[in-house]
Every structure is written in structure tokens, then in C-alpha cells.
Amino acid sequence: MLYVSEIQQVTPYIRIAVVSDRETGEVVGSIRFGDSVSERRVREMAPLLVKKSKKTRG
């Protein structure tokens, strides 16, 4: 299951949400967003927007 592990302030107007996997603890991806978006909304939507890589048979 994915969740937002941290939110970093990059510039006064841009923040980055780091999305991690709850089971393994590894960072899956990140999403940049502006100040106009609420932190609550980012925590709800960011895990849905990041695609987790799936292992495929070789």
C-alpha cells in the first residue's frame, strides 16, 4: 500500500510529495505540486497518481 512519507518545500510556491510503499519502506516516486493544493488533498491523491513498478517474468 502506498502513502505519502514526507512533503518537502522546494521553493516558496512548489512542494514535493514523496510516496513510499508501506510494506517495504522503499520510495516509489514523487509528485510536484503548487501551494494552491491543500496538504490533505495531496496525501489523498498522490498515492493514486504514482504508478508502482510491477515485476514481470523475463
Three-state DSSP state, 39: helix
Could you tell me the pTM of the whole model? 0.77
Supply the DSSP symbol for 31: E
Residue 58 corresponds to which cell in the numbers above?
523475463
46 contact partners, CB below 8 Å, separation of at least 6? 4, 17, 19, 31
- The string of pLDDT tens digits covering residues 4-57 is 999 999 999 999 999 998 888 899 888 999 989 888 998 898 888 887 656 656
CB neighbours of residue 23 within 10 Å: 8
Three-state DSSP state, 35: coil
